[in-house]
């Protein structure tokens, strides 16, 4: 009789354990900390995430696995190269989110983000995100997905008294839960058809499903994928994204756009390429259509974003993140017809790394601008170059990376890699649709970039603050019922809080934000000089 | 000079402007300013960097082995992105060397010119940075030997040119700039698909290897698709009729230096790409498309000339800059016709016309910009009034230079504009084997008719701008004649126009052997 006690390789699971344990520590410590020292909790979280990211270094051989049914086989947790790279992305993304939150959390317009709970939820979600790419059975996968998502609902709703945030969270919650339920149903079908939950065993069993179970298995495969497509915000499961992102606190939106997406795409990769490999002819075309639809819907949505819309900047980033998710799906669709699917998905990972760095950078600059212009309109970025040249240059660089035009060299080559996988896999039609989408995306990214470098005559900083202070009176009235209706009772409060905040910001950029912007800029420039740093994952076999 | 030294010269030519662009964005320490204002120091930086690049270009041209222009020289080949099989592969031969020198020269002259007359816009810091970034991109386009690097360089010029138009331009600049970049990016993304197809099917992105293979590793259908995709992207840039419609708007809105670089250098990237990529790498595809390319080219010649004639007529409110932009469509039509003949004669003519157009149209845009500065408008009707602007009388040197540039542009023998167009028509008279001779004879006839139309509109412009009655000629206030810095910026172009016209062997001796190599050494 085999031993019932498993030996656990703790070293392999440290990247997951550290954020999870730290989450509990922070939650408890919050109870005993005097309010004025609560900023320490944020720095503690940042240090913990950094430590977790550093523990990936000794694992870089990628040979460890644990929680195995038999020693060395059928393991539930595998720290292979794929898992490590995505974990690095998740932990790095969470670290940058913490840096963004360090200031926004305390000087937020409403000033009521409860810090202990905030860090707890963020770290829990990061632990789930780190677990997901390493899971190798369906149950662990779905548990990890839920651990990533559930705290995110609360994070979105955390801004107390903000009706928009509550609505965003509820929308997010309801659609997400529905999708998870569908996914669970699918998993149960797959389990019924194959008798196992381990991914590679599922793949083996699906290849030999008896005839009468074939339909069940196919339905199961389709339903399972739906849940993960939802997390990736692939169209037509994307409608929650713009409302959720604009309603959530800005760092949470940044977090969802990178870590939430990486959870979605890594889950999809594991399911399609590992578990459902025998059904490549089913999910391959489906993913291709999904990719085309997603990028088109996202980019057209972003194109329609009005410059004077409230929180329009985050709204644009939200829609564009849907478009970018479409690009992430292209190599996966191409993988279905490739000889070695594990080879193709490296391109997705490489693209996601690029996207993670520059998108978080863009959010960081947005967070900086929002401090002085709390309404977060695109119009607030007019002439930013005149006021904050470095921030404007950084944002321009990030946007051009997202658009894929030099000087954003890394963005260009990441797109070239995606195009290349589509062309190589005979998916010419998908490549052409993506080409059109790149042009659409260019228009709105460039419009925003151009806005940064507009000539401004008056001192716009004071104008913006003045407008915010007057917000409750003249502007709220003249802006008509739409503005006031969207955030009833918010404008006067925001304006009142904005004046001291703007005064504080005039002294300089907060440390956390400055570090976040500097980190992402340096990473972006380094990657532009040596794209091989991320593109090498597009070359080798990760899984 | 040995090849290693030249190799460093070429790399430095690309690296210097890039460093300069980054440097321009950083704050300048006051110790380095030597008492000048920040603005002067920045513009001075632009002149110094572009001047250094020009010196390097001259050194490169001097060190170039003129006995073997058909072989790649000053080559650097480093593994840059192994994941995508992209090499950092640089080199020059007889085809790219003249274009490199032209680019370095024009950018330097533009930097010099803007030192004294900076267009109104965002300020000198961004201007200098963008100008230098633009120079990096254009030089790189002509120097790289890797398809993906070519694409990178091709895209690098877009953002600087977009901002030069959108932030330093004239009326309707935002829309024109957006139109320019959307057209070009749509073209270049399709081009990327074609380049990737070539790379994936042939297993390499190396342009030298691919050119040596002469398409032997690509099936005919692959060549057809790839040549169409790549050709479309390049044709937008060139621009080929009917994909030219971004050009007149962009030129009209762009500031003077933007127009000069757009016409003088950026358009050449399209035709250079056709010669460098399509001719040797997808010969089968080109053979199929050549007659269509030729047909579009001659339509472009006639269309451009007719548009110019319409603009030049009294009462049509034609804009001088728009007129020269349309004339570019016509002139680039000759270049495309030369390429479409698939003969060494025709392609040599195309390459010659490329350079000639860069010199002459660059000069024309400088002159028209100067006219616009003096009169405050480039609207032909407002300029000339009822009898003509009488520039010969009011500013004789400026009028003389304008007349010189105009007759050079219409292809007067003895000036640079003549040889390229004549050789292109010569090639079209006897196209490559397998191409329909009657069709090409028709093209030749239409192109010849186009030269007549060209002469007609340019002479009309001269009559309306340079001539006029005595009353206008003596009108007050006195118009400033050519200033010192204008002389400095324009003389090299005028001198080279004469040199290339009287001594075409300087250029043809470089391109001829290189073109032979392209066609597989026959």
Residue whose structure tokens are 């913990």: A48
How far off is chain B from A220, nearest CA to CA, in Å?
36
How far off is chain A from B137, nearest CA to CA, in Å?
9
Select, from the ranges A47-56, A62-71, B466-475, the one with the highest average predicted confidence (pLDDT): A47-56
Residue whose structure tokens are 């692939």: A234
* pLDDT at res. A110: 43
Cβ neighbours of B182 in A, within 8 Å: 439, 442-443
Closest alpha carbon to B427 in B309, B515, B313: B515
CB of A95 closer than 8 Å to CB of A46: yes
Average pLDDT, chain A: 83
- What's the per-residue H, E or C state across A188-210? HHHHHHHCCCEHHHHHHHHCCCC
A191 touching B (Cβ < 8 Å): no
Binned at pLDDT 50, 70 and 90, residue A111 comes out as: low
How far off is chain B from A322, nearest CA to CA, in Å?
21
Q: Say which of A400, A455, A536 has its CB closest to residue B83.
A: A536
For residue A505, pLDDT over 60 is answered with no
Q: CA B230 to CA B247: how far, in whole Å?
A: 20
Closest alpha carbon to A509 in A390, A358, A398: A390
Residue ranges in A55-80 assigned as alpha helix (H): none
- Secondary structure (3-state) at A67: strand
* pLDDT at res. A480: 34
**B133: exposed, middle or buried (Cβ count in 10 Å: 0-12, 13-18, 19+):** buried
A290 touching B (Cβ < 8 Å): no
- Whether the link from the prior residue into A236 is cis, omega within 30° of 0, is yes
Residue whose structure tokens are 């490999």: A277
For residue A466, pLDDT over 70 is answered with no
Which residues 430-489 in chain A show a CB within 8 A of chain B? Answer: 431-432, 435-436, 438-439, 442-443, 446-447, 450, 453, 455
Q: CA B147 to CA B153: how far, in whole Å?
A: 10
Closest alpha carbon to A408 in A359, A346, A367: A359
- Rg of chain B (C-alpha set): 22
* pLDDT at res. B250: 93
* pLDDT at res. A418: 93
Binned at pLDDT 50, 70 and 90, residue A494 comes out as: very low
Number of residues written out for chain B: 522
A532 touching B (Cβ < 8 Å): yes
Least confident interval from A432-446, A475-489, B13-27 = A475-489
In chain B, whose CA is at the least distance from the CA of A409?
B152
Q: Say which of A405, A431, A455 has its CB closest to residue B159.
A: A405
- Going by their DSSP bridges, the two strands A64-70 and A73-79 should be labelled as antiparallel
Binned at pLDDT 50, 70 and 90, residue A38 comes out as: confident
For residue A107, pLDDT over 60 is answered with no
A406 touching B (Cβ < 8 Å): yes
Contact B167 A453 (CB under 8 A): yes
- Tell me the mean pLDDT per 10 residues along chain B, length 522: 84 93 77 70 89 94 89 90 90 93 95 87 87 94 94 93 90 90 93 93 90 88 94 93 91 92 93 93 92 95 94 87 93 95 94 94 93 87 82 88 93 90 93 92 95 93 87 77 88 94 91 88 53
- Secondary structure (3-state) at B164: helix
Cβ-based neighbours of B327, under 8 Å, separated by 6 or more: B304, B305, B308, B361, B409, B454, B457, B458
Q: CA B259 to CA A356: how far, in whole Å?
A: 38
Section A246-261 average pLDDT: 90
How far off is chain B from A153, nearest CA to CA, in Å?
39
Residue whose structure tokens are 């030996």: A7
Q: Say which of B155, B163, B181 has its CB closest to residue A406.
A: B155
* pLDDT at res. B146: 94
Contact B158 A405 (CB under 8 A): yes
**Residues pairing with B81 in the sheet:** B86
Number of residues written out for chain A: 543
- ipTM, interface predicted TM-score of the complex: 0.92
Tokens representing A299?
Answer: 């980019």
**B25: exposed, middle or buried (Cβ count in 10 Å: 0-12, 13-18, 19+):** middle
At CB < 8 A and 24+ separation, what contacts does A199-203 make? A199/A136, A199/A137, A199/A138, A199/A141, A199/A270, A199/A271, A199/A274, A199/A275, A200/A74, A200/A136, A200/A274, A200/A275, A201/A74, A202/A138, A202/A275, A202/A276, A203/A274, A203/A275, A203/A276, A203/A277, A203/A278
Which residues 348-367 in chain A show a CB within 8 A of chain B? Answer: 350
Q: CA B61 to CA B59: how far, in whole Å?
A: 5
Binned at pLDDT 50, 70 and 90, residue A457 comes out as: low
Q: Could you report the per-residue pLDDT of A172-204, keeping only the tens digit for each?
A: 888 888 888 999 999 999 999 998 899 989 988
For residue A8, pLDDT over 70 is answered with yes
pTM value is: 0.91
Q: Say which of A350, A423, A443 has its CB closest to residue B193.
A: A423
* pLDDT at res. B408: 94
In a mutational test of the B interface, the residue from A435, A452, A454, A537 whose CB has the highest number of chain B CBs within 10 Å is A435
Cβ neighbours of B196 in A, within 8 Å: 416, 419-420, 423-424, 431
Cβ neighbours of B166 in A, within 8 Å: 450
**A82: exposed, middle or buried (Cβ count in 10 Å: 0-12, 13-18, 19+):** buried
Q: Could you report the per-residue pLDDT of A319-343, keeping only the tens digit for each?
A: 999 999 999 999 999 888 877 777 7
CB of B79 closer than 8 Å to CB of B119: no
**Residues pairing with B77 in the sheet:** B89
* pLDDT at res. A508: 66
* pLDDT at res. A123: 95
């Amino acid at each position: 009789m085999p031993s019932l006690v498993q030996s656990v390789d703790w070293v392999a699971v440290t990247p997951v354990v550290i954020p999870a344990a730290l989450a509990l520590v922070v939650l408890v410590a919050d109870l005993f900390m005097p309010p004025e020292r609560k900023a320490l909790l944020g720095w503690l979280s940042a240090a913990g995430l950094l430590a977790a990211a550093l523990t990936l270094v000794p694992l870089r051989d990628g040979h460890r696995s644990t929680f195995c049914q038999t020693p060395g086989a059928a393991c539930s947790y595998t720290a292979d190269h794929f898992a490590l790279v995505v974990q690095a992305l998740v932990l790095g993304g969470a670290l940058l989110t913490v840096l963004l939150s360090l200031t926004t959390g305390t000087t937020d317009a409403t000033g009521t983000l409860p810090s202990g709970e905030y860090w707890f939820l963020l770290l829990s979600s990061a632990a789930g995100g780190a677990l997901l790419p390493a899971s190798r059975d369906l149950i662990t996968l779905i548990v990890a997905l839920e651990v990533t998502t559930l705290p995110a609902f609360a994070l979105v709703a955390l801004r107390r008294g903000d009706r928009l945030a509550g609505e965003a969270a509820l929308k997010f919650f309801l659609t997400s839960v529905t999708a998870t339920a569908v996914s669970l149903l699918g998993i149960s079908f797959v389990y019924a058809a194959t008798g196992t939950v381990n991914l590679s065993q599922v793949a083996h069993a699906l290849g030999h499903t008896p005839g009468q179970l074939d339909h069940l298995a196919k339905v199961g495969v389709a339903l399972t994928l739906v849940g993960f497509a939802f997390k990736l915000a692939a169209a037509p499961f994307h409608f929650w994204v713009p409302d959720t992102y604009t309603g959530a606190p800005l760092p949470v939106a940044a977090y969802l756009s990178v870590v939430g997406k990486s959870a979605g795409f890594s889950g999809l990769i594991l399911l399609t390429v590992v578990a459902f490999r025998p059904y490549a002819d089913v999910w391959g075309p489906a993913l291709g259509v999904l990719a085309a639809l997603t990028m088109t819907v996202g980019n057209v949505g972003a194109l329609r974003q009005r410059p004077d819309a409230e929180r329009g900047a985050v709204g644009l980033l939200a829609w564009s993140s849907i478009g970018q998710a479409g690009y992430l799906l292209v190599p996966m669709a191409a993988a279905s017809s490739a000889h070695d699917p594990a080879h193709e998905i490296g391109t997705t990972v490489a693209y996601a790394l690029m996207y993670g760095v520059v998108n978080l950078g863009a959010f960081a600059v947005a967070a900086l601008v929002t401090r002085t212009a709390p309404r977060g309109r695109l119009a607030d970025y007019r002439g930013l170059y005149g006021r904050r040249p470095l921030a404007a240059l950084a944002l321009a660089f990030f946007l051009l990376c997202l658009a894929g035009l030099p000087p954003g060299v890394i963005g260009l080559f990441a797109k070239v890699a995606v195009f290349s996988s589509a062309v190589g896999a005979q998916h010419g039609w998908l490549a052409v649709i993506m080409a059109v989408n790149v042009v659409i995306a260019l228009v709105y990214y460039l419009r925003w970039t151009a806005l940064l470098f507009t000539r401004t005559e008056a001192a716009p900083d004071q104008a913006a603050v003045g407008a915010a202070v007057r917000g409750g009176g003249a502007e709220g009235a003249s802006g008509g019922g739409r503005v006031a209706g969207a955030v009833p009772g918010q404008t006067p409060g925001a304006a009142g809080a904005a004046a001291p905040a703007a005064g504080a910001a005039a002294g300089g950029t907060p440390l956390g934000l400055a570090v976040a912007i500097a980190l992402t800029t340096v990473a972006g420039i380094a990657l532009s000089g040596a794209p091989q740093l991320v593109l090498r994952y597009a070359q080798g076999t990760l899984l | 000079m040995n090849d290693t030294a030249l190799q460093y010269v070429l790399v430095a030519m690309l690296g210097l402007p890039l460093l300069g662009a980054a440097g321009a964005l950083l704050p300048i320490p006051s110790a380095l300013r030597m008492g000048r204002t920040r603005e002067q120091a920045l513009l001075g930086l632009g002149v110094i960097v572009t001047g250094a690049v020009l010196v390097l270009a001259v050194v490169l041209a001097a060190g170039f082995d003129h006995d073997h222009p058909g072989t790649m020289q000053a080559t650097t080949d480093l593994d840059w992105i192994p994941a995508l099989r992209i090499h950092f592969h640089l080199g020059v031969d007889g085809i790219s060397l003249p274009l490199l020198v032209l680019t370095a020269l024009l950018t330097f002259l533009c930097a010099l010119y803007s030192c004294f007359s900076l267009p109104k816009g965002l300020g000198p810091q961004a201007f200098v940075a963008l100008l230098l970034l633009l120079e990096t991109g254009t030089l790189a386009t002509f120097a790289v030997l890797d398809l993906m690097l070519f694409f990178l360089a091709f895209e690098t010029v877009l953002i600087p040119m977009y901002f030069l138009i959108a932030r330093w331009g004239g009326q309707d600049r935002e829309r024109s700039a957006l139109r320019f970049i959307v057209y070009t990016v749509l073209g270049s993304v399709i081009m990327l698909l074609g380049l990737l197809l070539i790379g994936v099917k042939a297993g390499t992105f190396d342009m030298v290897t691919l050119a040596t293979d002469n398409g032997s590793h690509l099936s005919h259908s692959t060549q057809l698709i790839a040549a169409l995709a790549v050709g479309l992207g390049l044709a937008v840039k060139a621009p080929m009729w009917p994909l030219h419609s971004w050009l007149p708007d962009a030129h009209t809105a762009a500031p003077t230096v933007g127009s000069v670089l757009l016409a003088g250098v950026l358009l050449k990237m399209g035709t250079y790409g056709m010669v460098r990529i399509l001719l040797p790498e997808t010969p089968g595809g080109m053979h199929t498309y050549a007659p269509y390319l030729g047909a579009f080219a001659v339509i472009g010649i006639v269309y451009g000339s007719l548009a110019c004639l319409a603009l030049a007529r009294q009462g049509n409110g034609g804009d001088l800059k728009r007129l020269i932009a349309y004339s570019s469509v016509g002139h680039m039509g000759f270049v495309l016709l030369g390429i479409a003949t698939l003969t060494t004669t025709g392609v040599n003519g195309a390459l010659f016309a490329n350079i000639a157009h860069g010199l002459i149209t660059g000069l024309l845009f400088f002159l028209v910009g100067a006219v616009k500065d003096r009169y405050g408008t480039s609207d032909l009707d407002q300029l000339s009034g009822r009898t003509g602007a009488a520039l010969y009388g009011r500013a004789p040197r400026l009028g003389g230079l304008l007349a010189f540039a105009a007759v050079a542009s219409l292809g007067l023998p003895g000036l640079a504009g003549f040889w390229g167009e004549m050789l292109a028509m010569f090639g079209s008279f006897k196209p490559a084997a397998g191409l329909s001779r009657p069709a090409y004879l028709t093209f030749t006839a239409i192109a010849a008719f186009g030269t007549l139309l060209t002469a007609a509109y340019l002479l009309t412009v001269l009559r309306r701008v340079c001539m006029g009655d005595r009353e206008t000629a003596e009108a007050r206030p006195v118009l400033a004649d050519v200033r010192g810095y204008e002389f400095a910026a324009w003389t090299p172009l005028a001198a080279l126009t004469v040199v290339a016209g009287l001594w075409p062997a300087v250029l043809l001796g470089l391109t001829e052997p290189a073109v032979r190599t392209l066609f597989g050494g026959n």
